[in-house]
Structures are given as structure tokens and as C-alpha cells.
Amino acid sequence: MLSKNEIERYARHFPLPDFGMAGQEKLKSVRVLVVGCGGLGNPVSQYLSAAGVGHLGLLDNDKVAIGNLQRQVLYNQNLLGNGKANSAKKILSALNSEIEITAIDKRLTADNALEILRDWDLIIDCSDNFPTRYLLNDACVLLDKTLIYGSIYQYEGQVSVFNVDKSANYRDLFPLPPDPASVPNCEVGGVLGSLAGIIGSIQANEAMKIICNIGEPLVEKLFIFDSLTSQSKVIKYRSKQTRDQITELIDYEEFCSNSTKKMVKEVTVKELHDMMENKEDFQLIDVREPHEADISTLNGDLIPLGQVPDNEDKIATDKKVVVHCRSGARSGQAIQYLEKKLGLDNLYNLRGGILAWADEIDPSMAKY
């Protein structure tokens, strides 16, 4: 039953055809887990909390960085360095005190996914990487949970709904992950900030339709939106019975990596810190952009990723070279290029990049 305050709060829902008070009570009774509290997770969680979803889960182990604020509009500059899940919970609780919100400050893995997802009725994928997307999909198939997928890159966004009454799943649409080098993340390729709001809102809309049993959800349909032309299209696809091949969770980092990527040598932030403390003779290269280095730096040689081919002569060949970026993605690409082009075997990627350095060595770097 809805309280007097809830009836007043959600009054604009009641006149809607096929919605009414019954639809609102369905919203109140449901448990929805949002995986990823970034560009997509912000609008999804904001609209669902405002709409009156009874119990909202927010899963993310990342911290708010200044580069997030361009599209992650729940946060502000005062939250830099704070955990996203708990920050979002505090903000959304102030928006709607009638609902329950659980912050899960964890990284989703094959070891914990089934346990975490088991207690939620609906899962919304607001992640930003292929290993998590395949992990979420497989876990939802094994648990028979509906999954609402969304993704954004540069000027384009996509939305689809998987596993409704054993309908098609993510693997039916994307059987194999792309070559990591062929699909840069938003950090490298960029993304229009407002696009996150558009696609996240559509994901929230799909959730409302599914929960309230109204309209036609994007089941076995892929919605594609081009923000440059404001045009959209819907592509239909069918189940290929890939669910029969999903019997357990696997190593998704390995599944989504090609052989070249797995061969890149790495050093941990602790190992790099020890090298610095011991004043070892090595070269440190930062492949981020100048504006990033202005915010936080490890004082290495700055050679942005796009300029690496023009600066091959600046790469040391007679000693260890450690390459780093914000997260380890761009530096890994730089190493792959240099190893293939120059045949070097003295290159090491800093695992986790500046973000890992902030977590383990210098928390002040978290402002990045």
C-alpha cells in the first residue's frame, strides 16, 4: 500500500493509461540493481529513485574524478576522491527518502557476481567495459534475471533488454568481444556528456516498462541513437540459443583480451614505487594528454599516445621503460605498438595506472 506522502509524491503517474496506482505499487515492491554509477548509472539511478523503485542497489568501486563531472551529473567538485556508490546513495536519499538504497562499494567479479545479483529482481548494466558486460550477461542467464543493457561511445549510444522469459541475451547479439585495440574506451575515444543522459534515461524508461508491464520493451531489439543527427534506429535480432553454452562464470578479462594484450609485461605500483625509492635507472613515460599531466603527474617523460609514432627515438632501448596512463589502457596500447614496430622487449605497463597509484601510494592523486 502507498502512504499519503507517496500518493502525493507520485501523483503524476496515476493518470497514465495502464499505469495508475497499481503500477506505482509494482515499482514500490521491486528491487533493482544498477551496476556502474558513472555516466549511465547517474541518470538511471536518479530517475528510478525519483519514480519510487522500492529498493535501489548501486554497485561501483570507483571514486569520483574531475574527468567524470563532464557527464556524471549527480556529483560535484566537493566529492572528488569519494566513492561513487556511497556518494550517489547520499544524494539520491535526499531526493527520495521513501525508498531504500543500498550502496555496494565492490568490483563485480566472477567470484562474487552470483551472490550479489541473486537477491535483485532486475539488473541494469551501466558498466563501461566488455569483461563486465559479458560477466553480467552470463550471471543473469544463470540466475534467470532480466538485464537492461546500455552503452555509449563518442556520439552513439545503444540500449537493449536481455533475458526476458529466456529471450535473447548479450551473447546472441555480440557472440565474441572485439579486439581491445580496435575499440578504445571513452577515456581514449571520448564521449559527448549529454549522450550519457539520453541513453541512461532510455534505460530507466525500459526498466519502468518492464516493472509496470506496460508498452513494448526492447526485447530482441537493439536501439541505436546518433546524437550528431538526432536519428535513431531499431535493429531486430533473435536468440541463437547461446544460453545453452553458459554453464559457469569464467575469467572475463582473459576472454576479452587478445594474445598480444596478454603478453604485455607489467609492474605494480608498489614495484614502481620501490624502483623510485631505490633510484634505479629506468625511463618513465606518461602517455596521457598534457592537461591530464597538469592535474597529477609521476614526473615521467610526457609523450601522449597519439604522438608515440613520432617520438620513437625518445624511447630508451638500453634500460627498463615503464609506461603509464590513467588506468593502464592507453599505456598498454602504446607498448603493443612499440613492441610490434621496434621489436622492443624492455617495456613494462604500470598496472592500473594513476588510479592504482592513488589507491595504494598517494591518495592526493585521486583528484584526477
Catalytic residues: 186, 325
Q: Tell me the C-alpha to C-alpha distance, in Å, between residue 145 and each of 38, 88, 119, 151, 324.
A: 22, 24, 10, 19, 38
Contacts with 253 (C-beta within 8 Å, 6 or more apart), sequence order:
131
Percentage helix, strand, coil for the chain under 3-state DSSP, each rounded to 5: 45, 20, 40
* Residue 41 DSSP SS3: helix
Tell the burial category of 22 from Cβ atoms under 10 Å away from its Cβ (0-12, 13-18, 19+).
Answer: exposed
Q: Look-up: residue for cell 630508451?
A: 316
Reading the block at residue 297, the C-alpha cell is: 603527474
Contact 88, 37 (CB under 8 A): yes
Contact 180, 258 (CB under 8 A): yes
- 284 CB neighbour count, 10 Å cutoff: 17
Phi-psi region of 109 (alpha: psi -120 to 50; beta: other; left: phi over 0): beta
| Cα 333–chain centre separation | 20
Measured CA to CA, the distance from residue 267 to residue 22 in angstroms comes to 56
